[in-house]
Amino acid sequence: MSRSVVVVGGGLAGLVATRHLAAGGADVTVYEQGETVGGRVRSHTADGYTLDRGFQVLFTGYPAVQRELDLDALDLQRFNPGAVIARPGRRSVLADPLGDPTAALDSLRNPEVTLSDKLRTLALRQHLSTRSYGELFEGSDTSIRKYLLNWGFSDSYLSNFVAPFYGGITLDRSLATSKRVFEYTFKALSDGDSAVPADGMGAIASQLAERARSAGASIETDDAVRELTRKRRHVVVDTDCDRRAVDAVVVATNPRVAARLTGTSAIPTDGIGCVTQHYRLPDADPLDTGKRILLNAGDSEPNTVVPISEVAPSYAPDDALLLNATFLGDAVLDTDSDTLAERTMAALESWYPRRSFDALEPLATNRIPFAQFAQPPGVHESLPTVHDGGRRTYLAGDYTEWSSIQGAMASGRKAAEAVLADY
């Protein structure tokens, strides 16, 4: 008889775990409290616009992304490497000359970054190319800021480029995050592209759910798990609509719920938030960033503006541009939507002094108090493992690896392998 397993949570970690459990012969059901799967990676469509919940992209260089997804089926819309550094009255392209030779000259001439810093970037890229992804989590840790200063990068490089770009990835512009996150994402960006699926980031979760169903799994949405009662021979799972006893449970919720359901104190519960606002700009000329994001070199209000429909035309109707702006820091979670829109408009008008952005129309504001768990230097050593959830209970979720799509997917596979090995 096949073993019965419940997976709690239909985010990327839970969906990957579900698929591998089902493929391994388990009788598996995932309970997801939301109306749809995807967790922190979701999209919704309205009036012809595709709005991802918060700005995030898929790094095709992530090993778990290559292993778990059919990238061709996602019809990826790729960003060009690098970014446009923006400040009042000035915009300049900083591209990766190896990844985008057509922008090499612009990059070489970029006034925001010294030639020494550009050469150091190439040396860092070479250094990281000799290390495996696994090795990046070994050895001592420090903050991104200290790590780059130790490498000899200048303060101006850190504030003009690294703070808005990697601060946008870590949601921490102070660069106090673990250097491991920097190294991993820097290497992934050298090894692959950043992209969004033509149907939105939520298509990633849809594909994983489809693969899990095809492998024989059941997915119950709108049904939260309230309690787990661990017995010697089974676990009793109480959900909003159901009560059942199963051989094993994989807890793949967000970290705070996982800590409550399992009582595991090693689960990190400090979160970092952000706010992303989406806008339409009707009948407008393109922002002409060459499929790159705009980095705010001055401040974090907003940290980035992304002309997303120039990268992924399928995100908007033909007669309008779709932009998003992301604001960092806890204070911004309480800032009203009109104020945020005014700040984006003011930033854009200062970066494009000859253009008016009066027609910028907010479509939605995503306030995300817990987008990633906080990752100060050293945090990864203290994270729980797949086996730390207690009897017959396995942990999956970014909080067992590092806060990312890579961490979530890798954790799901590990949890499934652990369950299949034990039963």
Residue 31: closest CA among 272, 199, 235, 200: 235
Kindly tell me which of 113 and 395 has the beta carbon lying closer to ligand FAD: 395
DSSP of 189-225: HHHS-EEEETT-THHHHHHHHHHHHHTT-EEE-S--E
Nearer to ligand FAD, 39 or 302 (CB): 39
Residues 332-370 as b or e (16 or more Cβ within 10 Å = b)? beebeeeebbebbbebbbebbeeeebeebebbebbbbeb
Distance CA 343, CA 271 (A): 25
Per-position DSSP letters for 81-127, written without gaps between them: SSEEEEETTEEEEE--TTT-GGGHHHHHH-TTS-HHHHHHHHHHHHH
Whether 394 contacts 417, CB under 8 Å? no
Which is nearest to 52 in space by CA: 33, 38, 68, 65? 38
Nearest to 45 by CA among 33, 53, 37: 53
Q: Which residues have CB under 8 Å from 286's CB, separation 6+?
A: 307, 310, 321
d(CA 133, CA 184): 7
Nearest distance, CB of residue 318 and ligand FAD, angstroms: 27
133 touches ligand FAD (CB under 6 A): no
368 near ligand FAD, judged by CB under 6 A: yes
User: What is the nearest approach in angstroms of ligand FAD to the Cβ of residue 240?
Assistant: 8
Between strands 83-87 and 293-296, the pairing is parallel
The answer to whether residue 253 forms part of the interface with ligand FAD (CB under 6 A) is yes
Q: Give the 3-state secondary structure of 60-82.
A: CCCHHHHHHCCCHHHCEEECCCC
Nearer to ligand FAD, 40 or 145 (CB): 40
Number of Cβ atoms within 10 Å of the Cβ of 185: 21
- Closest to ligand FAD by CB, 41 vs 347, is 41
Nearer to ligand FAD among residue 176 and residue 224 (C-beta): 224
Q: Which is nearer to ligand FAD, 56 or 77 (CB)?
A: 56
Q: Which of 13, 162, 237, 322 binds ligand FAD (CB under 6 A)?
A: 13
Residue type, 327: F
How far apart are CB 367 and ligand FAD at their closest, in Å?
10
Residue 273 is a binding residue for ligand FAD (CB under 6 A):
no
Interacting residue with ligand FAD among 31, 153, 279, 351 (CB under 6 A): 31
End-to-end CA distance of the chain: 11
Smallest gap from residue 398 Cβ to ligand FAD (A): 4
236 belongs to the binding site for ligand FAD (CB under 6 A): no
- Within 10 Å of residue 91's Cβ, how many Cβ atoms? 17
Q: Which is nearer to ligand FAD, 217 or 320 (CB)?
A: 217
Question: Kind of pairing, strands 248-251 and 4-8?
Answer: parallel
**16: alpha, beta or left? (left if phi > 0; alpha if psi -120 to 50):** alpha
Asked whether position 32 contacts ligand FAD by CB under 6 A, the answer is yes
Instruction: Pick the closer one to ligand FAD by CB: 18 or 110.
Output: 18
**Contact set for ligand FAD, span 185-204 (CB under 6 A):** none
Among 80, 143, 372, 393, binds ligand FAD (CB under 6 A): 372
The residue among 240 and 422 lying less far from ligand FAD, judged by its C-beta, is 240
CB of 82 to ligand FAD, least distance (A): 16
Binds ligand FAD by CB under 6 A, chosen from 7, 28, 162, 169: 169
Residue 21 sits in the site that holds ligand FAD (CB under 6 A): no
**By CB under 6 A, is residue 408 in contact with ligand FAD?**
yes
Among 54, 97, 164, 384, binds ligand FAD (CB under 6 A): 54
- When asked if residue 320 is in the footprint of ligand FAD (CB under 6 A), the reply is no
C-alpha pair distances (Å), 268 with each of 8, 108, 255, 276: 18, 42, 6, 24
Residue 343 in the binding site for ligand FAD (CB under 6 A):
no
* Nearer to ligand FAD among residue 288 and residue 330 (C-beta): 330
Residue 39 is classified by DSSP as T
Stretch that binds ligand FAD, among 70-78, 139-147, 310-318, 403-411 (CB under 6 A): 403-411
Give the interface segment with ligand FAD, choosing from 33-41, 101-109, 333-341, 384-392 (CB under 6 A): 33-41
By CB under 6 A, residue 254 contacts ligand FAD = yes
| C-alpha to C-alpha distance for 372 and 398, rounded to whole angstroms | 9
Q: Which of 5, 6, 7, 8 binds ligand FAD (CB under 6 A)?
A: 8
Binding site for ligand FAD (CB under 6 A): 8-14, 31-34, 39-41, 54, 56-57, 169, 224-225, 252-254, 257, 274, 368, 371-372, 397-398, 403-408
